[in-house]
């Protein structure tokens, strides 16, 4: 090459260039063919390497004579060649080697791309060196290319993994961190708990009040918009937290930060907003100074969410309930802390909307007890361990038992009865109310039908069976059809009345209305139960095919000493009669209450004055001998001792006297006994 060495001259003589790369293989022998370029000075060699790089026809091997002539010596030439292309392999040719290698290494360093060759050499040896170095170069190029491809692939894969990790830990709608991120972060906090014992870590769990109403009435797009706006407000609440709530450092957390496992420096409080799913959000507060800081943040959030939201051209208002759980040594894992905050949130909801509750151990114990009760209820329903009772409904004009209301009872393992309000509400919450309601219908129809069969057909009592049905059951468009099938399966055809609570969700009004008309057309009477407990009372009269109105016992219990309640009771009775509906007053317990109801023209009554809720056997005995009830006996004596006429209303509410009954009793009417034999709290 430069100042051609003897080796270069020998290669040229063998038609084998002193420097170059294999261009192609001989079609006969398969041997590589080289191109050669010769230079006579260091400058020319450097220029040639530069050009080869520019043309992407790189030099694989350079043979350089140590005694090169010109401005640049051999070692300087090599340094500049490597500066241009570090991959070039150098063979230094010299006639003597004593001490040369040490001086070369001191100048150029050790390298597997540097070879010292003593001249002259045998041609075969020279050929082998050229072939070996060229092949080594070719392999190194291939490896470099593969390494480049692999490097790009690894980088691409890492980028994809990062994006997937971001997606996996980011809520797509609100762009907030999600549940997996929260649990990962909680585990990190728990593992570092010992190093932050002087600070306070807390979890704020919240969900939106009335979100389902908005989502169902305005559509899912509006619901998504609302959730996104809530997320922004939560972020803003945390950005605006005052320094007292955040500790001594005046930090403003960027809630849009890229999700990583890295944390801020020790001592700096951090805040993160997480969306768990649906309308549930969590705020994670780390390294706070005081417990009150978390409560202050919760109050800020409640106030912010209470402000109206704009969805399109509408303004809507929602609220939020917040449960707070603090990290402590008793927390085993992130799931437990999240569960504690969730429990506190439900406690806040029970206190009323827009409330805050801090978790304590009593909440956990109550939750465990409730879960046990839920499991026992499922078992009781599955194993047919529930019981039914029947409370008589008395006709105040005839003194006869006109109907019974079916009441469910559940006796726990300790022999005590679980309050109906507790387990029925629980059945609603855990999705058992439909199954429970069908069980009550089937069992009551069978028990009642079997009881009536035991009477002489000529003396069989004409008594209706009133069964409470949940709004969820009535929301089923084929409920009337299902009920007809159930009655057919039992083999009995009772005089069935459906009792429905007046309160309900306005969104299911149309479906419930269609179901009620279907029941009415099938000859099944509709009774509105607990009338007066809801603000929608008067709507029931207009829309539903009502046969009977049952006034809630909360009114009956106070009519003797609450003038306002007494006026309302009279008005409801008169309104019902004008609309051709019978009236049942629940919770009658004293003779004074009964006398007032008779004065106001009430049709029917039930309560402990006459009888408590009875087993089917006790009901049968009472039907055979009504005088077993002291209250019934006194009522009948009272009715026969007074000579006056009262219009008797038919089952559909039509008076046979041509109009509503308004019968003031004369002052000479004898007083009834103050209490009946079954007087007690409750029905």
Length of the chain: 683
Judgement on whether residues 289 and 408 belong to the same structural domain of the protein: no
Domain CATH number, residue 351? 3.30.70.270
**Cβ–Cβ < 8 Å for 285, 293:** yes
The verdict on residue 159 lying in a domain is no
The verdict on residue 367 lying in a domain is no
279 is catalytic: yes
The verdict on residue 393 lying in a domain is yes
Residue 85: count of CB within 10 angstroms of its CB? 14
Judgement on whether residues 330 and 233 belong to the same structural domain of the protein: yes
Nearest to residue 298, comparing CAs of 318, 275, 273? 273
Domain CATH number, residue 115? 3.40.50.2300
d(CA 578, CA 654): 9
pTM for the full predicted model: 0.59
Considering the candidates 65, 207, 279, 552, report the single residue annotated as catalytic: 279
The verdict on residue 494 lying in a domain is yes
Domain CATH number, residue 612? 3.20.20.450
Positions of the chain with pLDDT lower than 70, given as ranges = 1-34, 69, 193-199, 239-271, 502-507, 534-540, 642-683
The verdict on residue 662 lying in a domain is no
Which residue among 128, 146, 164 closes a domain? Answer: 146
Query: To the nearest whole number, what is the mean pLDDT of the chain?
Result: 80
Strands 270-277 and 280-288: antiparallel
The verdict on residue 666 lying in a domain is no
Judgement on whether residues 444 and 593 belong to the same structural domain of the protein: yes
Which residue among 103, 131, 146 closes a domain? Answer: 146
Judgement on whether residues 119 and 210 belong to the same structural domain of the protein: no
Q: What is the pLDDT of residue 7?
A: 57
Judgement on whether residues 534 and 579 belong to the same structural domain of the protein: yes
d(CA 540, CA 579): 11
The verdict on residue 576 lying in a domain is yes
DSSP symbols for 520-534:
HHTT-EEEEEEETSS
Q: How many domains does the chain have?
A: 3
Judgement on whether residues 132 and 229 belong to the same structural domain of the protein: no
Q: What is the pLDDT of residues 496-517, one digit of tens each?
A: 999 988 666 656 778 888 899 9
Judgement on whether residues 355 and 383 belong to the same structural domain of the protein: no
Q: What is the pLDDT of residues 453-472, one digit of tens each?
A: 999 988 899 999 999 999 88
Q: What is the pLDDT of residue 456?
A: 92
Residue 613: count of CB within 10 angstroms of its CB? 23
Judgement on whether residues 509 and 584 belong to the same structural domain of the protein: yes
Which residue among 146, 169, 198 closes a domain? Answer: 146
Judgement on whether residues 507 and 632 belong to the same structural domain of the protein: yes
d(CA 613, CA 407): 7
Judgement on whether residues 531 and 496 belong to the same structural domain of the protein: yes
d(CA 309, CA 315): 6
Judgement on whether residues 116 and 201 belong to the same structural domain of the protein: no
What is the span of the domain harbouring residue 80? 6-146
The verdict on residue 1 lying in a domain is no
Judgement on whether residues 122 and 201 belong to the same structural domain of the protein: no
């Amino acid at each position: 090459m430069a100042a051609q060495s003897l080796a270069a001259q020998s290669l040229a003589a063998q038609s084998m260039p002193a420097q170059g790369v294999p261009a192609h293989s001989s079609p006969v022998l398969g041997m590589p063919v080289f191109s050669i370029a010769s230079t006579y000075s260091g400058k020319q060699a450097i220029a040639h390497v530069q050009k080869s790089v520019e043309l992407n026809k790189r030099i694989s091997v350079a043979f350089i004579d140590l005694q090169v002539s010109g401005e640049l010596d051999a070692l300087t030439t090599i340094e500049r060649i490597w500066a241009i292309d570090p991959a070039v392999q150098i063979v230094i040719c010299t006639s003597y080697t004593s001490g040369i290698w040490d001086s070369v290494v001191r100048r150029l360093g050790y390298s597997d791309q540097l070879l010292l060759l003593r001249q002259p050499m045998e041609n075969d040896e020279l050929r082998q060196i050229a072939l070996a170095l060229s092949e080594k170069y070719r392999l190194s190029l291939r490896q470099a290319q593969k390494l480049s491809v692999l490097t790009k692939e690894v980088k691409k894969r890492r980028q994809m993994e990062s994006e997937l990790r971001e997606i996996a830990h980011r809520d797509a709608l609100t762009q907030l961190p999600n549940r997996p991120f929260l649990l990962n972060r909680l585990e990190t906090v728990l593992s570092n708990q010992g190093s932050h014992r002087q600070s306070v870590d807390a979890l704020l769990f919240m969900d939106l009040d009335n979100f389902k109403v908005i989502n169902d009435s305005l559509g899912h797009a509006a619901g998504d918009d609302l959730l996104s706006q809530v997320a922004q407000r939560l972020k803003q609440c945390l950005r605006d937290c005052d320094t007292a709530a955040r500790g001594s450092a005046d930090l403003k957390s960027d809630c849009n930060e890229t999700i990583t496992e890295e944390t801020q420096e020790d001592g700096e409080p951090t805040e993160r907003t997480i969306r768990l799913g649906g309308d549930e959000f969590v705020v994670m507060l780390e390294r706070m100074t005081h417990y009150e800081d978390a409560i202050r943040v919760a109050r800020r959030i409640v106030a912010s969410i209470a402000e109206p939201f704009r969805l399109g051209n509408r303004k809507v208002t929602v609220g939020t309930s917040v449960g707070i759980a603090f990290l402590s040594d008793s927390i085993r894992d992130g799931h437990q802390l999240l569960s504690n905050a969730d429990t506190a949130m439900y406690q806040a909801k029970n206190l009323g909307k827009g409330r805050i509750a801090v978790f304590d151990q009593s909440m956990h114990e109550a939750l465990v007890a409730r879960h046990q009760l839920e499991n026992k209820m499922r078992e009781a329903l599955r194993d047919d361990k529930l019981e039914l009772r029947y409370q008589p409904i008395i006709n105040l004009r005839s003194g006869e038992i006109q109907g019974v209301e079916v009441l469910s009872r559940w006796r726990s393992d300790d022999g005590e009865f679980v309050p109906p309000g507790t387990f029925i509400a629980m059945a609603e919450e855990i999705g058992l109310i439909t199954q429970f309601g069908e069980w009550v219908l089937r069992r009551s129809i069978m028990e009642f039908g079997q009881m009536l069969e035991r009477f002489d057909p000529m003396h069989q009592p004409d008594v209706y069976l009133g069964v409470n049905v949940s709004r969820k059951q009535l929301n089923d468009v084929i409920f009337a059809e299902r009920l007809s099938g159930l009655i057919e399966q039992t083999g009995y055809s009772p005089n069935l009345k459906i009792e429905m609570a007046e309160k309900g969700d306005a969104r299911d009004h149309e479906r419930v209305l269609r179901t009620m008309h279907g029941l009415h057309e099938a000859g099944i009477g509709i009774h509105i139960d607990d009338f007066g407990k809801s603000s929608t009372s008067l709507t029931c009269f207009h829309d539903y095919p009502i046969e009977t109105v049952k006034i809630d016992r909360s009114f009956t219990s106070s009519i003797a000493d609450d003038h306002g309640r007494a006026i309302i009771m009279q008005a409801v009775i008169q309104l019902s009669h004008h609309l051709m509906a019978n009236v049942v007053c629940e919770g009658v317990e004293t003779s004074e209450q009964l006398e007032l109801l008779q004065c106001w023209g009430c049709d029917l009554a039930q309560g402990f004055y006459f009888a408590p809720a009875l087993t089917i056997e006790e009901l049968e005995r009472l039907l055979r001998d009504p005088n077993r009830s002291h209250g019934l006996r006194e009522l009948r004596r009272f009715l026969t001792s007074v000579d006056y006429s009262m219009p008797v209303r038919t089952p559909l509410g039509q008076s046979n006297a041509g109009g509503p009954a308004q019968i003031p009793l004369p002052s000479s009417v004898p007083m009834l006994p103050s209490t009946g034999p079954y007087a007690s709290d409750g029905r």
